[in-house]
Amino acid sequence: MSAQCSEGLPAIDVRSLVASFDGEQLLADLDALGAIGWKPGAGLQRLAYGDADLEARRWVLTQMQALGMQAWIDPAGNVIGHLPGSEPLPALAIGSHTDSVPGGGKFDGALGVLAGLACVRTLRSQDVQLRHPLLLIDFAAEEATTSASPTGSLSFVGGLTQTALDGPSWDGRSTVALLTDHGFNIAAMIANRPPMPIAAFLELHIEQGDRLASAGVPIGIVEGIVGIRRYYVHFQGQANHAGTTDMKRRRDALVMAAPFILAVREAAMTHGIVGTVGRIEVHPNTPNVIPGRVMLDVEIRGLDDAVLDRVEAILAVEAARCGGTLHPGHRKEPVLADPKLMEAIERGCEALGLRTMRMPSGAGHDAMNLAAICPYAMLFAPSEQGVSHAPDEWTQPHDCINAARALLAAVLEVDAMPDV
């Protein structure tokens, strides 16, 4: 199967080009990068703008340069590699991130960056030039370890603010202090923009869940990155002596809250989303006093705003029925993937004989910020047992190779689209 090029250009045979893909080098790169910041017994400690993170970025920069890319580090710490295209078109961008959470694994983010390197390696080895320029980006500080995360992609699209940078970072300093101590210019970070117009962004990432592995499907195609809504729910009872207050006379705030917690689970399951009560404050929080006040933090996530609206209304009613009040907090809207790009990924996977599954992303990614400036789509690789953000995070070698090959096929398909 060949990607259909615009009139006058020969088609690139997807299967023939991908056949030259060097999977073993991709796995070697995963091991080499995974050793930077790895602590035995503690996992990956490649925290944003720390020494290990900066070392990893320099390693990525060197790999880009070795492949003949023009490569540089921008004011936010993003590592950017550029291959020229054959036509004066906006760029296709691919990439992800290489920073980690404390005690992370070696696949989260890194697979997307190294798969991008593998795609470039294949194009260069076969002397294939895309119509579009190609940008490979290793975004800085994607993980929520700074107050402005995902810092690099926010800066890249012009969404970074001074207010966001004033909050704390992973080491206790303000994010501004962390950055300035490592030589970053805050004004330049805020003024940062893409080096050229971008037509589309494709991001490969591990799933961080178990749907693909459980189904035996090698490639997930992300329909969108879920919206997130958080609420604070307050239950006011009456604190009293735990030994002398009759059970019938009690106004136990924790007992009031208990059916609401179950209602969150029921509403989420009924509507096909996820809902979590992740924090509970009990006052006065002592074993011989009846709880007089309880505060809950509730989060729901889903792709459909209308569904989230319905669940929010249900939770407000349930909170009132249980004697509490629900107050809105943080809200982030769903970011839907581009249908044409999703179809291009499916065509590429079909050419390679790889089965696919459409699915939402329950986690945030750099792609949700890139959506502010261009269409995006994402590919997921399976995560064994759904484990991520942990040292035993694992994606099978053949799944890493298949996902990277699928990314290359998708790039070829998108490059050939006449309206991109």
User: What are the φ and ψ backbone dihedral angles of 340, each rounded to 5 degrees?
Assistant: -65, -35
For 20, the token pair is 């030259």
Q: For residue 357, which amino acid is it?
A: M
CA distances from residue 190 to 136, 151, 155, 157 in whole angstroms, order as listed: 21, 10, 6, 10
What is the reported pLDDT for 382? 98
The token duo for 363 is 């986690």
pLDDT per residue as tens, the chain (420 positions): 555 444 444 467 888 888 899 999 999 999 999 999 999 999 999 999 999 999 999 999 999 999 999 999 999 999 999 999 999 999 999 999 999 999 999 999 999 999 999 999 999 999 999 999 999 999 999 999 999 999 999 999 999 999 999 999 999 999 999 999 999 999 999 999 999 999 999 999 999 999 999 999 999 999 999 999 999 999 999 999 999 999 999 999 999 999 999 999 999 999 999 999 999 999 999 999 999 999 999 999 999 999 999 999 999 999 999 999 999 998 999 999 999 999 999 999 999 999 999 999 999 999 999 999 999 999 999 999 999 999 999 999 999 999 999 999 999 999 999 999
Look up residue 74 and give its two tokens.
């921008």
Strands (E), 79-142: 79-83, 91-97, 134-139
H or E element at residue 361: strand 356-361
Q: Round to whole Å and give the CA distance between 50 and 37.
A: 10
Q: Is the peptide bond before 284 cis (omega within 30 degrees of 0)?
A: yes
Is 254 within 8 Å of 294 (Cβ atoms)?
yes
User: In 101-256, where do the E strands start and end?
Assistant: 134-139, 198-206, 219-225, 227-236, 240-241
Tokens of 130: 């895309």
d(CA 131, CA 9): 9
- Cα separation, 66 vs 54, in Å, equals 18
The pLDDT score that the predictor gives to residue 1 is: 52
**How many angstroms separate the first and last alpha carbons of the chain?**
20
Write the CA distances from 39 to 5, 102, 140, 364, 388, integer angstroms: 47, 10, 21, 26, 16
Q: In terms of C-beta distances under 8 Å and separation of at least 24 residues, what long-range contacts does 65-74 make, across chains too?
A: 67/117, 67/120, 67/121, 67/124, 68/124, 69/120, 69/136, 74/155, 74/156, 74/192, 74/195
Q: What are the backbone dihedrals phi and psi of residue 292, each rounded to the nearest 5 degrees, phi first?
A: -95, -20
35 φ, ψ to 5°? -80, -20
Q: What is the pLDDT at residue 106? A: 97
Domains located in the chain, CATH noted: 2-225+335-416 (3.40.630.10), 227-332 (3.30.70.360)
Would you say 408 and 118 are in contact if contact means Cβ atoms under 8 Å apart?
A: yes
Alpha-carbon distance 237 to 257, whole Å? 10
Phi, psi (degrees; rounded to nearest 5) at 136: -110, 125
Helix (H) or strand (E) holding 116: helix 110-125
324-332 vs 79-83, strand pairing mode? unpaired
CA distance 203 to 206: 10
